[in-house]
Amino acid sequence: MARSPKKGRRQLKPPSPPLAAPGVRYPFVAIVGRPNVGKSTLFNRLVGQRVAITEPTAGTTRDRIAALVELPDGRKIEVCDMGGLGGTGDAHDADVNRQIDLAMEYADAILFLVDARDGLVPLDQRIAQRVKRLGKPALLIANKADTRDLEVTAGEFYALGFPGELLCTSAREGFGRWDVLDALAKLLPAGEGVPAPAGPPADDGRGGRGPLRLAIVGRRNVGKSTLVNRLVGEDRVIVSEKPGTTRDAVDVLCQVGGRDVVLIDTAGLRKRGKFDDHIEIISHGRAVEAVRRADAVLLVLDALEKVAAVDKKLAQTVEEEHKACVVVANKWDLVEQGMTLEQFAEYVHTQLPGLDHCPVVSISAKAGDHATAPVQVAFELDRQARLRTGTAPLNRALGRALERRRPKPRHGKMGKVYFGTQVAVNPVTVLLFVNEPSLFERAWLRYLKNELRKQLPWPEVPVKIVLRSRLSLAKKGGGIARRLEHMGGLAEQAHWLDDDPNANVRDVAALLDEDEVAAVLLRALGPRGDDADGADEDEGGEGDVVTADELARASAGGRRPARATGDDDAGDDDADDADDADDADDADDADDADDDDADGDDADDDDADDDNADDDNADDDDADDDDTDDDDTDDDDADDDDADDDDADDDDA
């Protein structure tokens, strides 16, 4: 029996189809044929990925889907999949035919696909005449030729009058793929497919990481495709008032505000129990996959309707994947004058508590009002997600957060945090070394994330917290164990933050900034593959260093997460948080002088280490702490915990 995946372990980030760079013109090859002859299957086989949905149902593909394909001689071409000519009799035939006409007019070459099993039919003859009238190079391909007999009977397609050899393939089995690529290399002129040498790459604002991939998700008929067409400036995807028009996840490369961005248009979602067919199930999976492979997400809501269960499910998916998110209130031009954006943002954050840190932007995709604002805000969130803060500021923020509220004791034990460090960016990943990960409940971890967002320059992006037992790390052995022993000596030299016997944080911030210790944390003690799964592989060890000014602004208070035009206004500062931070700093100075109970705390640490000798796998079960609930039960518990902490502080005073 196959082993079930470990709890909290994520899959690898799905690949995205290769797209042509802006301003680079590759030969465009359109795949043409009647419905259900295997165009999407051949397209996926040429690209090497499952980009388009393949189903036996005729008329599955509606939009144009394009991706780059490399020829055997090293040249690249852009291949386009689209719907079938002739239609299927549904309400979208006119829109599908319009997309086909645009692709055929733009194409440099055409792959005319026929079905070897069905043989020559009248519709094939009509399509052949239409292709010939274009006067463009064309290849005739007989698909589904799985047997030798079908290859022999496919000779009847020579009657269509296309020059050259008939190619027999089986896209489903992978037979004949290289024959098609070789024929395309001979069909296209030698100079095509090799882009002209470009100058030095322009600064994209992302450190050379390529264009920002932005997934646009939401319920059905909220205006996702309309927003894509508005940003692209043309009818790139089909827009219809009938729900369920979009099926595939269509990647569209365009420029917004002079910067490259890949817009991923996805199918509208609804409850699983209301799915019409198997195609809608696949479309649902492609939408979730688009969220996973995107750098940021635009969650589109209908400003005229209430937040539904589907919206909450999508918000939960975004939170679980630790994606930077912009909540887009579409159709704002139809909202009554009494509603303000701040009121709508407060309502959204109440209904979607897992995204209460995300900015809310109001637009009207159909009228074009502030249509580029969500993308501009997404660029700002991407910048925040790539910031890296030092170990000392991070541990000071942890100390202030723990002074305000500590984890609740569980089974007679108190959760202790020894130190923390940032190990990855995009998403921001913070690794905490603790005595026992199981002692930290979800409500407290959610509180800690909010505190880190308030005090550090990540006010509007998700923060992923990974808990690791210090004892389990010591068992790795070798040079790592010796380094850990050295770091343990550094920790013993630190002082307690307060004189409470239950204090659970050591102030080792200054010592952790040493080069040797920082190298150990980032190289030897970084999270394992299942801990840092949410971070991009090429971004795990890089990030923009936070300047002193940015850190000061972040400590003073984050921006208010409600924007009308997507500008970079700083918003109102939170005076209470600033006062609390000053009080925490004063408390640190006062507590340094009072070390009466330090020995008692060290004894507690020794007992905690002895009790946790078998906790090597505790971090696997608790590393994924980003689960969210649709209701506010955890938030209510957090409020009760705050009240208990206030009473405890009064008793200490």
pLDDT band at 516, cuts 50/70/90?
low
List alpha helices for 259-353, DSSP H.
278-293, 309-320, 341-351
Residue 641's pLDDT is 46
Q: Per-residue pLDDT tens for 233-285?
A: 989 999 988 888 898 999 999 999 889 999 999 999 988 777 878 888 899 99
CA 31 to the chain's CA centroid:
30
Is residue 302 pLDDT above 50, yes or no? yes
Residue 487's pLDDT is 55
Distances (CA, A) of 235 to 186, 212, 229, 232: 33, 21, 5, 8
Give the number of C-alpha atoms closer than 13 A to the C-alpha of residue 454, restricted to the C-beta side.
Answer: 22
Distance CA 160, CA 181 (A): 22
Query: Which is more confident, 574 or 184?
Result: 184
Is residue 301 pLDDT above 50, yes or no? yes
Distances (CA, A) of 264 to 212, 253, 328: 11, 9, 15
Average pLDDT, the chain: 77
Q: Terminus-to-terminus CA distance in the chain, angstroms?
A: 59
Query: Which is more confident, 592 or 90?
Result: 90
Residue 421's pLDDT is 92
Strand bridging mode 428-434 / 463-469: parallel
Residue 488's pLDDT is 53
| pTM of the shown model | 0.72
Distances (CA, A) of 600 to 250, 597, 603: 61, 5, 5
CA 274 to the chain's CA centroid:
26
SS3 536: coil
The fraction of the chain above a pLDDT of 70, given in percent, is: 67
Residues 44/133, Cβ–Cβ less than 8 Å: no
CA nearest to 210, candidates 13, 68, 48, 22 = 22
Residue 15's pLDDT is 77
Is residue 506 pLDDT above 50, yes or no? no
pLDDT band at 25, cuts 50/70/90?
confident
